[in-house]
Amino acid sequence: MDIHEYQAKDLLKKFGVNVPRGGIAYSPEQAVYRAQELSGERVVVKAQIHSGARGKVGGVKICSTDDEIAEAATWMLGRKLVTHQTGPQGKLVGRLYIEEATDIAQELYLGFVMDRTEERVVVVASAQGGMEIEDISANEPGSIIRSVVDPAVGMQAFQAREIAFQLGLEPGLIPQAVKQITGAYRAMDEMDAAMLEINPLVVTKSGEIVALDAKLSFDANALFRHPEISELRDKSQEDPRETYAEDRGLNYIGLEGHIGCIVNGAGLAMATLDMIKMSGGEPANFLDVGGGASPERVLMSFKAVLNDPKVEAILVNIFAGINRCDWIAEGVVRAVKELNLTMPLVVRLSGTNVDEGRKVLAESGLDITTTETLAEAAEQVVAAWKATGNPSTTAEAAQ
Report which residue type is found at 292: G
CA distance 397 to 399: 5
* Residue 242 known to bind ligand: no
Nearest-angstrom CA–CA distance, 367 and 377: 15
List 197, 242, 312, 379, catalytic entry? 197
Catalytic residue at 140?
A: no
Question: Buried b / exposed e across 36-47, counting CB within 10 Å, b at 16+?
Answer: eebebeebbbbb
Q: Tell me, yes or no, if 231 is annotated catalytic.
A: no
Is 199 labeled as ligand-binding? yes
Contact in structure between 260 and 116 (CB atoms under 8 Å): no
317 is an annotated ligand-binding site residue: no
CA 383 to chain CA centroid, Å, is 32
- Cβ atoms of 242 and 220 closer than 8 Å: no
Residue 391, CA distances (Å) to 161, 276, 387, 394 in order: 59, 19, 11, 5
Q: Say which residues have a Cβ less than 8 Å from residue 347's Cβ, sequence separation at least 6.
A: 315, 316, 318, 329, 332, 361, 368, 369, 370, 371, 377
242 and 253 in contact (C-beta within 8 Å)? yes
Question: Does 56 carry a binding-site annotation?
Answer: no
99 is in an annotated binding site: yes
Identify the active-site residue in 6, 97, 109, 244. Answer: 109
Residues 6+ apart with CB under 8 A from 163: 123, 125, 145, 147, 177, 181
Beta sheet of 60-63, edge-to-edge order: 22-25, 96-100, 43-47, 60-63
Residues in contact with 119: Cβ distance below 8 Å, sequence separation at least 6, in sequence order = none
Q: Is 238 annotated as a binding residue?
A: no
At a CB cut-off of 8 Å and minimum separation 6, what does 95 contact?
4, 24, 25, 26, 48
CA 391 to chain centre: 29
The span from the CA of 115 to the CA of 36, in Å, is: 43
Question: Is 5 labelled as part of a ligand binding site?
Answer: no
Task: Give the annotated binding-site residues.
Answer: 46, 99, 102, 107, 199, 213, 264
- Binding residues for Mg(2+) are 199, 213
Residues flagged as binding site for substrate = 264
Binding-site annotation: residue ranges for ATP: 46, 99, 102, 107
Active site residues: 109, 197
